[in-house]
Amino acid sequence: MYVYLNGKLVPAKEAVVSVFDHGFLYGDGVYETLRVYDGVVFMLDEHLSRLYRSSSLIGLTIPFAKDHLKISIYETLIANSLRNAYVRLTVSRGKGSIGLDPDLCPEPTIVIMAQELKAYPKSFYEKGISLSIAKTRRNLKEAINPRIKSLNFLNNILAKIEAKKAGTYEAVMLNVNRKLTEGTISNLFFSKGGILCTPSLECGILDGITRGLIVVLALRDGLMMKEGEFIREDLYSADEVFITNTTLEVMPVSKVDGQKYAIGNMTKLLHKAYRTEVNAYVANVKAEGPSLWGYE
Ligand code: PMP
């Protein structure tokens, strides 16, 4: 396995980062998770835009243009012969002396890791997964804004620990105003009386790329949608529930705390529409011209 580290592809064993890296010392950095379908990185532009937005929100300048990172991602995939994969792109503040001042770090550390994506068990999609509402509250927007996809993940990890103790797959966090926000690695959707509902960005969530696409597809399919503030009882009384992220796509939920749900038509319809969109995207990218893989 080869890892991209600061401009070079190196064997995984040699891909080491300093103990003085502020990503390690303080969780000071940002990242993206991307999914590769048949050699094509899905919604690459959107993910890179979010990476640059996250980094600008923490005052971190990425010393490369988007195109450079795009090529580096593809080079990493090619070096590992990966066509269906998961890519993690990490940018940390970099190596510096101990201390919080970002100016202690002259250069960011940039890492691209790609791994084969192991399919989630079919039963997850057929039977649904379980959620529990955590006691841990989502970070305040005014503290660490959840819009920043940062390396500082302890908020989510604390909620994940609760989910593990509860024996559920994913935790849902409320904000300090007791409004629903999102999962530890996913966005939350539910339907009620035929209306598709999802917490708005104002509730303090990550602007999920999958979430954004699902909203577009739902509107395109003529579904009624409500993005807003919701409480836990709205979720308990929902007809259908699902979560989304880049690797899970649309994952049906069959249980939240004690409440059970059937996997309904809206969830199935949206997952199908998402898949169709993925296929069209992959076909489009391939039709655009010779790829870095050189197979067309
Ligand atoms: N919320 C959180 C906290 C996440 O970590 C993720 C995964 N990146 C998501 C939502 C879903 O985002 P996306 O659809 O862009 O993968």
Domain-by-domain residue ranges, the chain?
2-116, 122-281
Per-residue pLDDT of the chain (296 residues; tens, 9 = 90+): 999 999 999 999 999 999 999 999 999 999 999 999 999 999 999 999 999 999 999 999 999 999 999 999 999 999 999 999 999 999 999 999 999 999 999 999 999 999 999 999 999 999 999 999 999 999 999 999 999 999 999 999 999 999 999 999 999 999 999 999 999 999 999 999 999 999 999 999 999 999 999 999 999 999 999 999 999 999 999 999 999 999 999 999 999 999 999 999 999 999 999 999 999 999 999 998 666 665 44
Ligand 1 center to residue 260 CA distance, Å?
24
Which residues neighbour 101 within 8 Å (Cβ) at sequence distance 6 or greater?
none
User: At 39, is the secondary structure helix, strand, or coil?
Assistant: coil
pLDDT value of position 296: 42
Which residues neighbour 171 within 8 Å (Cβ) at sequence distance 6 or greater?
131, 132, 133, 134, 136, 159, 160, 162, 163, 183, 184
Q: What Å distances lie between residue 177 and 91, 202, 230, CA to CA?
A: 32, 12, 10
Q: Which secondary-structure segment (H or E) carries 92?
A: strand 85-92
Ligand 1 center to residue 181 CA distance, Å?
12
Which residues neighbour 49 within 8 Å (Cβ) at sequence distance 6 or greater?
66
Q: Which residue has the tokens 């979010």?
A: 50
pLDDT value of position 282: 96
- Tell me the C-alpha distance between 186 and 124, whole Å: 15
For residue 123, give the nearest of 24, 277, 251 by alpha carbon.
Answer: 251
pLDDT value of position 288: 85
Q: Mind listing the pLDDT tens digit for each residue in 13-40?
A: 999 999 999 999 999 999 999 999 999 9
Counting from 1 in the atom list of ligand 1, the atom nearest the Cα of 182 is: 1
Ligand 1 center to residue 225 CA distance, Å?
20
Q: What Å distances lie between residue 2 and 62, 98, 129, 190, 257, CA to CA?
A: 22, 30, 33, 40, 42
pLDDT value of position 181: 98
Long-range contacts of 122-127 (CB under 8 A, 24+ apart): 124/169, 124/251, 125/251, 125/252, 125/271, 126/263, 127/254, 127/263
| Ligand 1 proximal residues by C-beta, below 6 Å | 33, 156, 182, 185-187, 206, 208-211, 244-246
Q: Mind listing the pLDDT tens digit for each residue in 94-134?
A: 999 999 999 999 999 999 999 999 999 999 999 999 999 99
Ligand 1 center to residue 245 CA distance, Å?
5
Q: Which CATH number fits domain 122-281: 3.40.50.150, 1.20.58.760, 3.20.10.10, 3.30.413.10?
A: 3.20.10.10
Active site residue 13: no
Question: In the CATH scheme, what is the code of domain 2-116?
Answer: 3.30.470.10
pLDDT value of position 293: 64
Counting from 1 in the atom list of ligand 1, the atom nearest the Cα of 47 is: 15
In a mutational test of the pocket of ligand 1, which residue from 182, 245, 247, 248 has the highest number of ligand atoms less than 8 Å from its CB?
A: 245
Cα Rg of the chain (Å, integer): 20
pLDDT value of position 92: 98
